Amino acid sequence: MWLFVAFLLVPLIEIGLFIQVGGWIGLWPTLGIVVLTAILGTYLVRSQGIMALNNLRGSFSRLEDPSEPLAHGAMILLAGALLLTPGFFTDGVGFALLAPPVRSALIRYLRKHIKVRRFEMGPQPEDPYNPNRPRGPRDTVIDADFHEVSEPKKPTHQGSGWTKH
């Protein structure tokens, strides 16, 4: 239900803001602001996205919990989508999501309301590269030698010139 309300209210808010801002400064400056915020937003999303990706790689290399860098990356991705959507309300929310303190506060809020039931790091029992994995009959290695057996040629067989026949 809340998604329906969002899809209904956001366009209404955007239309109202376009009418208000367009009435204050005119059509072309309003459209210029929309294009300028999209260009600026794209640049900021790209630079912050690279930083978020580096933070995620760092958490993987230090074997730390990657949930916070992943959450920052997801919010930067959402900010990019909002900044590319024409409108003043979506631009405001998008620019707010690009601010690290806003993202951190949102992550703290979400942590209070989301319960993680299970989180594991390292090799799992079913991981084929885990040396402590229980072995079964399908894990048996058979060492063998082989030789190719070719079918006898038929007497009417004529070579094509492309093979060794």
pLDDT at 149: 78
| Residue 87 DSSP label | S
- Is the pLDDT confidence value at 18 over 60? yes
| Residue 151 DSSP label | P
Task: Tell me the pLDDT tens digit for each residue of 48-87.
Answer: 999 999 999 998 888 888 888 999 999 999 999 998 888 8
d(CA 20, CA 27) in angstroms, rounded, equals 11
Residue with token string 């067989």:
157
Domain ranges in the chain? 10-113
pLDDT at 32: 93
pLDDT at 16: 92
pLDDT at 113: 87
The CA distances from residue 128 to 28, 47, 140, in Å, are 61, 37, 13
Task: Tell me the pLDDT tens digit for each residue of 88-128.
Answer: 999 999 999 999 999 999 999 988 888 877 666 665 656 66
pLDDT at 163: 66
